[in-house]
A and B are shown apart, each in its own frame.
Chain A
């Protein structure tokens, strides 16, 4: 992340093909060789930014499957995720963490893609439960996607069916450490490999019915 966090406005091609003159904060559409050399000041700033970001996670209040039931005790008084700096946000524009909580049906995948693409960058995703890893107990279900990371980049997986709130806290702590180290770059990989992700998404979503990219 440290290399890509150089603040410089770019005129670049938007994922839907049109020329985008908006000032994008980071050089997320640049290839590795196009990156300007990192300056010491920028590196230090990136570290500070990462530290701040790791301690202010806003989860979008959206549950995809049964695993969402474990988010409620996590948010309320017994486990209380606000004491470690995680809180819930009502809309995708106000949040930066998406928790894919449990199995993901094709119909839900569409809504999750919309929510994820509308979230401001940088953003992170957490796969909750075994279903997000390889389908779990829904391995032979006709309407459930098996590998969620073919359609969305996932930064952390929390295994279990379902994981307890303690496991979720451990997972979020790990995500925070990853953000501080600057390794949680799923959002950046998503934009760099957008064609692959979009092709995979269109393979299962036969009636697309939404913009190519939901800004």
Chain B
């Protein structure tokens, strides 16, 4: 891990890095270096297998985080390479030339998050959503309940029970009972006090 981090630091420059487990480490890089880093990892080190590719929506920071998990099967070590891109102008470089299986990931991110991967095949081709007109649904500012209320009809009589509300009601009731008990105990304690002798 240390060796690969030092190599990456000297070649591309890292924003940060950490070791999560003995077989899992993370390096954060600048978005424009993504393809260079992954290409170097694939061609010059043992990290030849793209295990996973995912997106995290950091709404408060107005950024998308792209995370590539590449694995070295001989060393049994996985490296998380994460890069952040702007949320408003969501565009990232495609890695389909390195791993063709990334095309499906990129198609799905394009559909579900609205991230463009220029040059990747099947961009804009419908995958799970057909005839979708609203905002990409996996973005965190997409309100699913509001969309459902607009699009679908609910059967009348449906009751919605929120476990949080139930818990809060239960806790309030417990508190009230405890206070009542305390008051009763105080009252009995006061009444048991010996009356002052005349």
**Residues of A that sit less than 8 Å from B by CB:** 106-107, 110, 133-135, 139-143, 145-147, 150, 203-207
Known interface pairs A134-B154, A134-B158, A150-B153; A142-B130 also in contact (CB < 8 Å): no
Tell me the complex Cα distance, A206–B133, Å.
8
Which residues on the B side are within 8 Å of A145 (C-beta)?
152
Which residues on the A side are within 8 Å of B142 (C-beta)?
142
> Would you call the interface of chain A mostly helix, strand, loop, or mixed?
loop
Tell me, rounded to whole Å, the shortest Cβ–Cβ distance linking B127 to chain A.
10
Which residues on the A side are within 8 Å of B131 (C-beta)?
106, 205-207
Question: Are A146 and B128 in contact (CB-based, < 8 A)?
Answer: no
Per the CB 8 Å criterion, the residue count for chain B at the interface is 20
28 A–B contacts, CB within 8 A, in A order = A106-B131, A133-B155, A134-B155, A135-B152, A135-B154, A139-B154, A139-B158, A140-B144, A140-B148, A141-B144, A141-B148, A142-B137, A142-B144, A142-B147, A142-B148, A142-B151, A143-B129, A143-B137, A145-B152, A146-B148, A147-B152, A147-B153, A147-B155, A150-B153, A204-B151, A206-B130, A206-B131, A207-B130
Q: B145 at interface (Cβ–Cβ under 8 A)?
A: yes
**Residues of B that sit less than 8 Å from A by CB:** 128-134, 137, 142, 144-145, 147-148, 151-155, 158, 160
Which residues on the A side are within 8 Å of B158 (C-beta)?
134, 139
Q: Which 9 A-B pairs have the closest CB atoms?
A: A207-B131, A206-B131, A134-B155, A146-B152, A142-B144, A140-B145, A142-B137, A107-B130, A142-B147
Tell me the complex Cα distance, A145–B148, Å.
9
Tell me the complex Cα distance, A185–B93, Å.
56
Residue of A nearest to B128 (CB): A107
Question: Are A147 and B130 in contact (CB-based, < 8 A)?
Answer: no
Interface centre among B129, B137, B142, B148 (most CB of A within 10 A): B148
Residue of A nearest to B127 (CB): A107
Question: Are A106 and B130 in contact (CB-based, < 8 A)?
Answer: yes
Tell me, rounded to whole Å, the shortest Cβ–Cβ distance linking A52 to chain B.
35
Question: Are B130 and A204 in contact (CB-based, < 8 A)?
Answer: no
Tell me, rounded to whole Å, the shortest Cβ–Cβ distance linking A189 to chain B.
18
Tell me the complex Cα distance, A88–B190, Å.
78
Known interface pairs A140-B145, A142-B144, A146-B148; A107-B154 also in contact (CB < 8 Å): no
